[in-house]
Amino acid sequence: MKKFPPLSKDFPHFLIGGDYNPEQWVTEEGILDRDIELMKEGNCNEFTMGIFAWDTLEPEEGVFDFSLYDERLDTIYKNGGRVILATPTASHPRWMNEKYPEIMLTNNLGIRHEYHSRVFQCLRNPIFKEKARIIDEKLAERYGNHPAVIGWHLNNEYRAHDCYCPECRRQFREWVRKKYNNDLDLLNHEWWTPFWSHRYQSFDQIDPPNAQIGETSITGLSLDWRRFVSDSVVDFVKLESDAIRKYSSRPITTNCMGRFDRYDHRKMAKHLDFYSDDSYPSWFSSTRTISDQCATWAQISSFCRNMKGGKPYILMESAPGINAWQNSFRPNKSTEAQLFEAMLFVANGAESVLYFQWRKGRGGGEKYHGAIVDHLGTSEHRVFRAVKQVGAMLKKMDGVIGTGIDAKVAITHDYETLWALNSYINHWEGLGGRSGKQNGYMETINALFSACWKQNIPADVIGYEEAFEKYKVVFMPSPYIMTEALANKIKTYVKNGGTLVTFHMTAMVNENDLAYLGGMPACGLREVFGLRVDETSDYSTSNCAIKNSVLYGKKSYPVTANADITVLEGAEKLGEYESDFFRGASAVSKNVYGKGVAYHVAFCPDQSFADDFTSDLFGDLNISAPSAVTGDEFVRVVCREGDGEEYYFVLNCSETEQTYTVHEPLTDLLSGNAVTGTHTLPAFGFAVLKK
Ligand code: GLA
Ligand code: ZN
């Protein structure tokens, strides 16, 4: 594997620092100077600036004041720091709202939101778009080549609100007209509108799906509306990135929110140069072990780095200490947990440990949210010292920059499938009958990723557009929406020797949620999997009187959600249902197709099945964990590699002491010592070992 280029050629180091809002501090004497001293003292090197600075930068319409930012950027650079500069569009100034109230979101009852909070604008509004373009270009023109600026941060956690303003309604109609080639017959067919007498006579009659309507009627409309709202975000990201690129060649990102699913992050990521995420572990769940939580965060890291083809990503925000908004998990983090958390993200592909926030404000809703600099204001604070320790470690890790994770396993994740299978986004958008949690789409992904993670087998979470060929196995959870193109991709991959595993509810509808006729899985996939699915049962409701289970190998596994009832057409049965009227029907099957193998798991797997099934499969396919380092049950070993270098991150994902054993001579990157043999890791302990 080759190393990826660093985010900044001139600054090929791990970034540590975080959100910095000097505009909140101009009235408080001495603070701005102190920030610079503390940056150096705390081993920090980065400030993310300008996120909420629009009313500082443009105090009146068309009047710009860059004096504070001119001074800050110069001073930070002179003192060795760097800046990721934000466009301030997540919150516009009050004067703008007074003059152009129509830039605010309108809800589904037609009521325009009042000015409050943030990320509250209509992203389709032409005035707001123009105002955003102007301030973005001004910033790019002024700071686009400033030596402190190593990257751009668009907006802040784009939300993808559904906006029902007249402009959005009009644009939605145009979007639909374009998609269906101005062909009403095609639209009425694809949306199946004779259902409940909903035929359209004109594109002008189209309205967004609305809670007011009550029951789910046209599911194709709901799905297209989600696509339209998602496209609104993508278009706005493009507008902002184009404005920056006009004057600056520094790389662009935006801070995403993990698996937030209201817009298609992969479509958006095409307009970004690097991907970023805000991740907030708390570690204080009474229902999920530290180990399980680590699996979730590792999965999110995998998801993030695979947004840009495996390239390292930026951890843009995380909490130093307490988190102000996570109501259920409020205990503060120990220093050990803070250090561990940093290494967990770095191990899985982050090239920074950035925090929200640099300094706790004196007022406002986040004044008690963790910060590198507390109200105490000095370096004596425990949290400051913890961050300083993270910085000291990262200084020794320049070699890790640009390394990637060489996964032989992929798990697909697709936004449109998620929208089609889940009604939880907005209940009235439910796509009818098959909607809801029982579909277990994310549950399947989670179980598969955790299974890989527990076996120290790296897995990439990828979109359908990624090449399958580099993987020995592709897990494809419930590809409910199937297109000819995707079916052909599956066929080619398996025919040429790949192993593909699919799950319940495969290939049932076309891209407009029209059920296929003539047998599922559709689009010629019956032949690939060697079976047919005529029915899908559901055991998910808590008061369901009937239980079922699957016998696979010598063990029985519970069926707690959807379960396809299969008819084999050539596939070999590896597991079967144990009860209900279809007892004995295949629940796990294998079919040779060309040079490859296609597996079908007919039910939503629980963790124990995912663990055992993947372990069998990895055995068959010779997919194995790193052999240089092994450890106890809760020790995870992740290898980042590139240009012949290998770095083993050894993480104790538990609160109990664990041991690990080094099987070949490695060097401890943090102490510089040679290591072999067996060692102990305390709770949340870790080591970084170089080959
Ligand atoms: C988000 C936002 C930040 C801040 C933090 C608090 O990630 O981007 O502005 O509100 O949450 O955790
Ligand atoms: Zn709108």
How do residues 490-528 score in pLDDT, each as one tens digit?
999 999 999 999 999 999 999 999 999 999 999 999 999
379 part of a folded domain? no
Whether 157 lines ligand 1, by a CB cut-off of 6 Å, is yes
609 shares its domain with 685: no
* pLDDT higher than threshold 80 for residue 217: no
Lowest mean pLDDT among 121-130, 273-282, 326-335, 583-592: 326-335
Task: Measure 197 CA to ligand 1 centroid, in angstroms.
Answer: 46
Q: Considering only CA atoms, which residue is closest to atom 4 of ligand 1? A: 356
* pLDDT higher than threshold 80 for residue 193: yes
Domain boundary among the residues 621, 653, 678 is at 621
* pLDDT higher than threshold 60 for residue 431: no
Q: Which of the 8 DSSP states describes residue 22?
A: G
User: What digits encode the pLDDT tens for the residues 363-376?
Assistant: 998 999 999 999 99
The sign of the dihedral angle between the CA atoms of 282, 287, 290, 294 is: negative
- pLDDT band, very low/low/confident/very high, at 213 (cuts 50, 70, 90): low
Sequence-distant (≥ 6) Cβ neighbours of residue 25 within 8 angstroms? 31, 32, 35, 359
* pLDDT higher than threshold 50 for residue 224: yes
* pLDDT higher than threshold 90 for residue 214: no
Domain boundary among the residues 593, 621, 649 is at 621
Rounded Cα distance between 251 and 471, Å, is: 29
pLDDT at 433: 47
11 part of a folded domain? no
User: Which of 84, 314, 317, 355 is the pocket-test mutation for ligand 1 (most atoms within 8 Å of CB)?
Assistant: 317
Count of domains in the chain?
Answer: 3
* pLDDT higher than threshold 90 for residue 326: no
Whether 224 lines ligand 1, by a CB cut-off of 6 Å, is no
616 shares its domain with 660: no
pLDDT at 211: 62
pLDDT at 329: 56
Residue 78: give the domain boundaries.
Answer: 45-273
Residue 421 Cα distances to 410, 432, 435, 436, angstroms: 21, 9, 5, 7
Q: Is residue 555 a contact partner of residue 578, using CB atoms and an 8 Å limit?
A: no
Rounded Cα distance between 423 and 441, Å, is: 12
Q: Which of the 8 DSSP states describes residue 631?
A: E
- Per-range mean pLDDT, top range of 118-132, 281-295, 320-334, 438-452: 118-132
18 part of a folded domain? no
Residue 259 Cα distances to 231, 255, 281, angstroms: 17, 12, 14
301 part of a folded domain? no
pLDDT at 327: 59
- pLDDT band, very low/low/confident/very high, at 425 (cuts 50, 70, 90): very low
3-state secondary structure of 361: coil
Residues, CB within 5 angstroms of ligand 2 (ion): 122, 124, 163, 165, 168
Mean pLDDT for all residues in the chain: 95
User: Cα torsion for 627, 631, 637, 639, to the nearest 10°?
Assistant: -30
User: What digits encode the pLDDT tens for the residues 57-72?
Assistant: 999 999 999 999 999 9
CATH number of the domain to which 644 belongs: 2.60.40.1180
Question: Does residue 37 have an active-site annotation?
Answer: no
3-state secondary structure of 383: helix
* pLDDT higher than threshold 80 for residue 102: yes
User: What digits encode the pLDDT tens for the residues 523-581?
Assistant: 999 999 999 999 999 888 777 888 999 999 999 999 988 899 999 999 999 999 999 99
Query: Which ligand has its closest atom nearest to the C-alpha of 356?
Result: 1
648 shares its domain with 549: no
Whether 20 lines ligand 1, by a CB cut-off of 6 Å, is no
Whether 612 lines ligand 1, by a CB cut-off of 6 Å, is no
636 part of a folded domain? yes
* pLDDT higher than threshold 50 for residue 427: no
pLDDT at 282: 86
Domain boundary among the residues 562, 586, 621 is at 621
Q: Per-residue pLDDT averaged across 310-320, rounded? A: 98
Task: Measure 356 CA to ligand 1 centroid, in angstroms.
Answer: 6
580 shares its domain with 494: yes
Of the residues 317, 341, 576, 641, which is catalytic?
317
533 shares its domain with 668: no
Q: Per-residue pLDDT averaged across 203-219, rounded? A: 79
542 shares its domain with 637: no
Q: What ranges make up the beta strands (E) of 193-344?
A: 252-253, 255-256, 276-278, 314-317
503 part of a folded domain? yes
315 part of a folded domain? no
543 shares its domain with 457: yes
Rounded Cα distance between 50 and 367, Å, is: 18
176 shares its domain with 230: yes
pLDDT at 428: 42
Of the residues 41, 102, 157, 511, which is catalytic?
157
Whether 279 lines ligand 1, by a CB cut-off of 6 Å, is no
The sign of the dihedral angle between the CA atoms of 146, 152, 154, 155 is: negative
Q: Which of the 8 DSSP states describes residue 224?
A: H
Q: Per-residue pLDDT averaged across 35-55, rounded? A: 98
